[in-house]
Amino acid sequence: MMLKTCLFALIGLMTFSGFHSVKANDEFRHAIRIVGSSTVFPFAAFVAEKYYRKTGDRSPVVESTGSGGGIKLFCGGVGAEFPDIVNASRRMKVNEIRNCADHKVREFSEVMIGWDGIILAKSRKSSGFNLTRRQLWTALAKRLPFDGQLVDNPHTLWSHVDPRLPSTPIQVFGPPPTSGTRDVFVEEVMNKGCRGTKVIEQMEPEKRKIVCGEMREDGVYVEAGEDDDLIVRRLTSNPDALGIMGYNALERRSSLITAVSIDGVEPGFESIQDGVYPLARPLFLYVKDEHIHILPSIKAYLDEFLSPDTISEEGYLAEKGLIPLKDPSGKAVAARITKLTL
């Protein structure tokens, strides 16, 4: 999956050294507050630990709230009670940027830090199988077209979806609607996997998007929260189940889980970085510019995060599962920073 066209102009590669650093206001808190994606959380928390050890400054407070929930907090306003940075496993939506502006969050920067991939994980105890996006939509859609009508999804076994698949129960653990992982899964699997039938193609685009993106609510798809480790534990106790999570979770728990291929492509470092894996996705930080002026430690934290020692192919986050960016020529790059305004 190639990165979709940016909604805003990319102003190129740069560092945060251009931001003004001023003495922190005594009325402002002194610890950086970071919220957002459960996928980016391990990276942000590890950088926070490194930052604390190097500087002796107060360790940033990093919370896993999900991308959507974190963006809502971030866009709530400017001031000590609002987060300085939000992590996201998807690009911020236009309506979210408008919400930021409505709450006077008018100047912030988008930092693309690297790549990740959404995987369908399974227990290593399971024999497993490979899936297509069409099969996944057929298994997980709330309603399916039959005889020209939409009916509740009747499939309970994978063999009901496709006779070539095993006769095991369909059980998928995944994130809630506030998760960026869920947003990308709906966009790249559900919305694309559903296309092709006459009933679907005759719908108005907005209705089609809703119908295609609706997930089952009958216990086949189970919202398991934002904690990938919780899903991993459920997979080890239920080898027939699958779990939707980020590729970095596979890197951290490879002794317990493995991943099925999607549309014939296995998730891996190169297949994700090259955009060959269908569920590759970019990862972001969004930084409140006005807070950088008030709390200089934000700049120091970002300098640590964007250092080649951190996010290059030889950086310590690559060992944790972050897949670095590279330019069209194949050369690794540190980060892409975009100034966002309405």
Same domain, yes or no: 77 and 143: no
Report residue 17's pLDDT band, with 50, 70 and 90 as the boundaries: very low
Does the CA dihedral 245-215-37-115 come out positive or negative? Answer: positive
How much is the average pLDDT of 93-100?
Answer: 93
The one-letter amino acid code at 66 reads G
Comparing 103 with 253, the larger pLDDT belongs to 103
State residue 18's pLDDT score. 41
What are phi and psi for residue 147, nearest 5 degrees?
50, 40
Same domain, yes or no: 268 and 237: yes
Report residue 4's pLDDT band, with 50, 70 and 90 as the boundaries: very low
State residue 326's pLDDT score. 76
State residue 23's pLDDT score. 43
The one-letter amino acid code at 20 reads H
Q: Which of 90-99, 202-211, 225-234 has the lowest mean pLDDT?
A: 225-234
Same domain, yes or no: 134 and 178: yes
Place of tokens 């988008």: 110
User: What does the buried/exposed string (b/e) look like for 120-138 if buried means 16 or more CB atoms within 10 Å of the residue's CB?
Assistant: bbbbeebebbebbbbbbbb
pLDDT tens readout for residues 154-183: 999 999 999 999 999 999 999 999 889 999
The one-letter amino acid code at 282 reads P
Same domain, yes or no: 298 and 198: no
90 domain residue, yes or no: yes
Residue 332 reports pLDDT greater than 90: no
28 is written with which tokens?
Answer: 């402002």
**What is the domain extent for residue 289?**
16-115+282-340
State how far the Cα of 48 lies from the Cα of 59, in Å rounded to an integer.
6
139 domain residue, yes or no: yes
42 domain residue, yes or no: yes
What are phi and psi for residue 65, nearest 5 degrees?
-120, -5
Average pLDDT, the chain: 87
Report residue 147's pLDDT band, with 50, 70 and 90 as the boundaries: confident
What are phi and psi for residue 222, nearest 5 degrees?
-115, 120
Report residue 194's pLDDT band, with 50, 70 and 90 as the boundaries: very high
143 is written with which tokens?
Answer: 């309603």
Residue 88 reports pLDDT greater than 70: yes
Q: How far is CA 224 from CA 75, 182, 242, 268, 274, in A?
A: 26, 11, 12, 24, 30
State residue 293's pLDDT score. 87
Same domain, yes or no: 79 and 209: no
CATH number of the CATH domain containing 109 = 3.40.190.10
Same domain, yes or no: 79 and 185: no
How much is the average pLDDT of 188-200?
Answer: 92
6 domain residue, yes or no: no
Q: How many domains does the chain have?
A: 2
State residue 328's pLDDT score. 56
4 domain residue, yes or no: no
Same domain, yes or no: 226 and 291: no
132 domain residue, yes or no: yes
State residue 15's pLDDT score. 40
Comparing 334 with 70, the larger pLDDT belongs to 70
Residue 320 reports pLDDT greater than 90: no
Same domain, yes or no: 130 and 263: yes
State residue 19's pLDDT score. 40
How much is the average pLDDT of 34-50?
Answer: 95
Same domain, yes or no: 203 and 223: yes
State residue 24's pLDDT score. 46
Same domain, yes or no: 147 and 186: yes
State residue 333's pLDDT score. 60
Same domain, yes or no: 211 and 63: no
8 domain residue, yes or no: no
State residue 232's pLDDT score. 92
Same domain, yes or no: 287 and 276: no
State residue 73's pLDDT score. 97
